[in-house]
Amino acid sequence: MKKYIFTVLIFYIFTACSKNENGEAFNFVAGQSFYLLDKDGNDRLNPQSEMAINAKKIRIYYLVDGERMEAIEYLHMMAPNAILDNPYGFGIGAPSPISNRSYYSIDVGLNCKGNDGDILYTYIEWDENDTDTIRSEIYRKNSVLKSTIVAFNDSVWTPNQLENRTIFTIIKP
């Protein structure tokens, strides 16, 4: 049951509705989920695995005004009094038949500081020697802010590849 509640909370962290400065409802969608597997299909986020990534070493960074800024610093700057469920910019969820996730997954909050059509950068630092780059495009219209992935490292994704995909798989040695 705790795993189910955690998965539901993660969904709401990265999909939120609030009010803008005019008091109007504002929809905010700026997150992406990933599985992290090795070349043999072993789950690198499973803490029971010998090859597990150390979650304590993971850091999320955003490119903000030309500078890399850690997610925790950026989020506290933007909402200094907020109590955040994932102040480090990510959460790790366990497999669950309820959420239809077959492996542990990492849910990453994407950079969303930009204007409509801007390409923004989010970095996942797995450890001091391994960082991946996510490029996303910001969509800002009326009461909606959405950040959609367009590339992961050197792999460019087309809208057809993104259709109906909520979780992507990253292969790490």
pLDDT in tens, the chain (173 residues): 444 443 433 444 444 444 445 555 556 667 888 899 999 999 999 999 999 999 999 999 999 999 999 998 988 887 777 777 787 899 999 998 887 788 999 999 888 888 888 899 999 999 999 999 999 888 877 777 777 777 889 887 655 555 555 688 899 98
Which pair of structure tokens corresponds to residue 130? 């391994």
pTM for this one?
A: 0.78
Helix (H) or strand (E) holding 14: helix 2-14
**How many of the other CB atoms lie within 10 Å of CB of 92?**
18
**Rounded to 5°, angle at Cα 14 from 11 and 18:** 110
pLDDT of residue 129: 95
pLDDT of residue 128: 94
pLDDT of residue 25: 54
CA distance 130 to 135: 17
Q: Is residue 8 exposed (0-12), middle (13-18) or buried (19+ Cβ within 10 Å)?
A: middle
Q: What is the DSSP letter of 164?
A: T
CB 95 within 8 A of CB 101: yes
CB 71 within 8 A of CB 62: yes
Structural domain including 52 reads: 2-171
If one counts the domains in the chain, the total is 1
Return the amino acid letter for 20.
N
pLDDT of residue 138: 83
pLDDT of residue 19: 46
**Rounded to 5°, angle at Cα 108 from 107 and 111:** 155
